[in-house]
Amino acid sequence: MTTPASSGQLEPVDALYSRDVFSRAVMRQRLPKDVFKRLIKTIDQGAPLDHGVADVVANAMKDWAIENGATHYTHWFQPLTGLTAEKHDSMISPDGQGGVIFNFSGDELVQGEPDASSFPSGGLRATFEARGYTAWDVTSPAFLVRGTGTVTLVIPTAFVSWTGEALDTKIPLLRSMEALSQQALRILNIFGTSHGATRVFTTVGPEQEYFLIDRELFWQRPDLVICNRTLFGAKPPKGQQLEDQYFGTIPARVLACMAEVERELWALGVPVKTRHNEVAPAQYEIAPIFEMSQLGSDHQMLTMETLRRVAPRHGLAAILHEKPFAGVNGSGKHNNWSMATDKGHNLLDPQDDTHTNLQFLVFLCAVIRAVDTHAELLRGSIASAANDHRLGANEAPPAIISIFLGDMLQDILDQVEKGQLKRTLKGGTIDLGASTLPMLPRHSGDRNRTSPFAFTGNKFEFRAVGSSQSIAFPNTVLNTIVAESLDVVATELERAVGKTPTPARVQAAAMALLKKLVKQHKRVIFGGDGYSQAWHEEAERRGLPHLRDTVDALAALKARKYSDLFKKYGVLNKSEYDSRLLIAYEKYNKELGIEAETMVTIGRTQILPAALAYQRRIAEAVTATESAGVKCNDTVASLGEFVNLVSRLQESLATLEKVAGHHDDDPARHAAWIRDKVKPAMAQVRTFADALESQVAAELWPLPSYREMLFLK
């Protein structure tokens, strides 16, 4: 498709922004006033939606979509694969006179029925009862997706089984926001600061890291094509040692690709803002302005899809895997998170005199309590085979969940513990020493890159989220554990202040509570180097859970107290919870099973033949040299070593094949087998194959090298 960006004629951005979104502005224009009002009431306040309204909206949406070239519509949903799904239907109906008309009814807008049997349900639904429904999510606007010669109206939906159980990632997210809202409002009521707010939303701004490599090279690597990561590859001579990549100049082709991704996303209403080079060669980042969580989460899925879709137009492939290349930095997704009232007040904004802002401190300490109490859940929400390569591997935050607060808040919590709040540390200004340069305000705390959960100004940043994963579940967990914490906190405060809360009573109750919370939960706060061995030992002394990998993390999630928690706050019932756990195990087992199989195939059909060809070449050189009457003992010796390496590769492939063929009906036990037997066997194969790569003649090696993939811009 020729796009405006690739043809060199750029549309002005103001015409582009939200061009393809059935936005509030479009609805205001196209809907009768009362219908518009009722719809907005549903979107903003959660009021029930009636059918008459849906019919009118459907009709307006259809007209708008058709005027923009659409022929088809789809209910877009997020099944438990962690991806998105869609099934397209045209908007055509028979006109009753042998012809067709475009038609799209309220029924079609509100409810769809894709065949649900091929999506993972984790036992929620047997194949013979395959019914699943999609239901219109009014809070996330419909949009148009343009493909070559086709435009499709996309309607964000939730996905449920016919028994009403959530089969997707969106429903629990919405429920968790509801739960948090209820509890947060109680706190605002105690402080008398709701200012007419009727809801509290959680907000999210996810920073996405990804790699872009040449597409031709990508297609020559079956491991990248099938597993999204390289299973083989000797380290490049130049890795990250020079630190010249981070924030470096963006290569021209990459910049063109990024620009096109941004323009497509703006047209879809996704407010992407930041772009830059990341730490590893060929690694980049894209970040939006934050939005309400459910919208931010939908937009994050669109961002990932758009990256994958646009990159090939520039001869590139976008790789979103957490660890596509060994030995260079992996990719994560910093999940910036906060809570705000529907009046726009950010509840995690400390404001200038933070030590007088008790309400902020109550919200802050409730989050600290939540993270400490439910660290295992948070850890589990980001557990995956892919993320196991990052967490704790001295590049991403460690698998131990801790919180970084910065000097100013740390100082305030110290004061809380002593029972008196007196001051707020100020950052002051930085004088650059040249009168033409401005004075810069200095933040009162530096950044800490090694913390998995850091307070950054007026929000928390959950940094352990994986780059390829949907942010819906981690946010569902975060919202639910904070809802629980706010519930406990509100109950205690309500009891302490009684029926007639005076400001003095509220203040005294809040101080007493804060003191207790800090004492109980300060063990989770850590401002030092999270990568260091010293911290691992310290964390153990503090009794913080350290779930090293997915197998350990998922095992911890089986505890009854966790499924009870989700049930209590109406986020997931027991079978919905269990199904997600089961799917996480299945995903781990399947992914690694596929990796092992791919490794064996590449090893046998590409690497081994190349190694044998080279072996033959050396052997022939020896024969030729010696028959010419010249001794070549060194070459004979290295031939011996080479043959030895080749046979070790063969042995390791046989071992891998054997352990990977193991079967176990119990998914948890199978996962442990994979971790303990299959992964080490894969590591063995890789060691020998990578050693061969550095010896075999380059022209015989069948796979593009790390150097080619990472440094060809």
What are the Cα distances from residue 283, in Å, to 53, 561, 624? 47, 40, 47
427 binds ligand ADP (CB under 6 A): no
The H-or-E segment that residue 505 falls in is helix 503-521
Q: Name which of residues 122 to 141 contact ligand ADP (CB under 6 A).
A: none
75 versus 463: smaller Cβ distance to ligand ADP = 463
373 versus 458: smaller Cβ distance to ligand ADP = 458
Question: Is the separation of the CB atoms in 453 and 403 below 8 Å?
Answer: yes
217 versus 471: smaller Cβ distance to Mg ion = 471
Whole-angstrom Cα distance, residue 20 to residue 580? Answer: 34
Among the listed ranges 243-251, 453-461, 477-485, 536-544, the one in contact with ligand ADP (CB under 6 A) is 453-461
Instruction: State whether residue 306 is helix, strand or coil.
Output: helix
Picking from 78, 52, 57, the residue whose alpha carbon sits closest to that of residue 132 is 78
Pairing of strands 272-277, 316-319: unpaired
What are the Cα distances from residue 248, in Å, to 45, 277, 282, 331? 45, 6, 11, 17
User: Smallest gap, in angstroms, from Cβ of residue 455 to ligand ADP?
Assistant: 11
Question: Is the separation of the CB atoms in 483 and 176 below 8 Å?
Answer: yes
End-to-end Cα spacing for the chain: 23
84 versus 208: smaller Cβ distance to Mg ion = 208
Question: Is the separation of the CB atoms in 546 and 539 below 8 Å?
Answer: yes
303 versus 485: smaller Cβ distance to ligand ADP = 303
User: Smallest gap, in angstroms, from Cβ of residue 293 to ligand ADP?
Assistant: 9
Amino acid identity, position 37: K
156 contact choice in Mg ion, ligand ADP, none (CB below 5 to 8 Å, kind-dependent): none
338 contact choice in ligand ADP, Mg ion, none (CB below 5 to 8 Å, kind-dependent): ligand ADP
User: Smallest gap, in angstroms, from Cβ of residue 339 to ligand ADP?
Assistant: 8
287 binds ligand ADP (CB under 6 A): yes
Among the listed ranges 188-196, 245-253, 327-335, 421-429, the one in contact with Mg ion (CB under 5 A) is 327-335
273 versus 519: smaller Cβ distance to ligand ADP = 273
Listed in order, strand segments (DSSP E) in 267-391 are: 272-277, 283-288, 291-292, 316-319, 333-341
User: Smallest gap, in angstroms, from Cβ of residue 291 to ligand ADP?
Assistant: 8
289 binds ligand ADP (CB under 6 A): yes
333 binds Mg ion (CB under 5 A): no
199 versus 334: smaller Cβ distance to Mg ion = 334
Region class of 511: left (phi > 0), else alpha (psi between -120 and 50), else beta: alpha
Q: Which of 288, 350, 527, 704 binds ligand ADP (CB under 6 A)?
A: 288
456 binds ligand ADP (CB under 6 A): yes
Whole-angstrom Cα distance, residue 231 to residue 603? Answer: 10
Whole-angstrom Cα distance, residue 412 to residue 424? Answer: 7
Task: Give the residue nearest to ligand ADP (CB).
Answer: 205
Q: Name which of residues 95 to 154 contact Mg ion (CB under 5 A).
A: none
Q: What is the CB neighbour count within 10 angstroms for residue 284?
A: 24
95 versus 446: smaller Cβ distance to ligand ADP = 446
Whole-angstrom Cα distance, residue 579 to residue 573? Answer: 10
Among the listed ranges 281-289, 358-366, 464-472, 627-635, the one in contact with ligand ADP (CB under 6 A) is 281-289
User: Smallest gap, in angstroms, from Cβ of residue 203 to Mg ion?
Assistant: 14
Among the listed ranges 124-132, 184-192, 315-323, 329-337, the one in contact with Mg ion (CB under 5 A) is 329-337
DSSP letter for each residue of 521-558: HGGGB--S-TTSHHHHHHHHHHT--B--SHHHHHHHHT
458 binds ligand ADP (CB under 6 A): yes
Q: Which of 459, 587, 670, 686 binds ligand ADP (CB under 6 A)?
A: 459
Whole-angstrom Cα distance, residue 470 to residue 77? Answer: 12
205 versus 452: smaller Cβ distance to ligand ADP = 205
535 binds ligand ADP (CB under 6 A): no
Q: Name which of residues 332 to 371 contact ligand ADP (CB under 6 A).
A: 336-338, 346
Picking from 46, 81, 105, the residue whose alpha carbon sits closest to that of residue 584 is 81
Q: Name which of residues 579 to 638 contact ligand ADP (CB under 6 A).
A: none
Backbone φ and ψ of 404, nearest 5°:
-105, 130
Q: Name which of residues 638 to 697 contact ligand ADP (CB under 6 A).
A: none
459 contact choice in Mg ion, ligand ADP, none (CB below 5 to 8 Å, kind-dependent): ligand ADP
Picking from 402, 378, 524, 522, the residue whose alpha carbon sits closest to that of residue 451 is 402
451 versus 579: smaller Cβ distance to Mg ion = 451
Whole-angstrom Cα distance, residue 66 to residue 90? Answer: 11
User: Smallest gap, in angstroms, from Cβ of residue 482 to Mg ion?
Assistant: 20
334 binds Mg ion (CB under 5 A): yes
Among the listed ranges 262-270, 330-338, 547-555, 691-699, the one in contact with ligand ADP (CB under 6 A) is 330-338
Question: Is the separation of the CB atoms in 402 and 524 below 8 Å?
Answer: yes
The neighbouring-strand residues paired with 212 are 318
Question: Is the separation of the CB atoms in 268 and 14 below 8 Å?
Answer: no
Whole-angstrom Cα distance, residue 404 to residue 413? Answer: 12
287 contact choice in Mg ion, ligand ADP, none (CB below 5 to 8 Å, kind-dependent): ligand ADP
Question: Is the separation of the CB atoms in 655 and 201 below 8 Å?
Answer: no
176 binds ligand ADP (CB under 6 A): no
221 versus 334: smaller Cβ distance to Mg ion = 334
Q: Name which of residues 290 to 309 contact ligand ADP (CB under 6 A).
A: 290
Q: Which residues bind Mg ion (CB under 5 A)?
A: 334
Which positions lie near ligand ADP, rule CB under 6 A?
A: 203-205, 207, 287-290, 336-338, 346, 456, 458-459
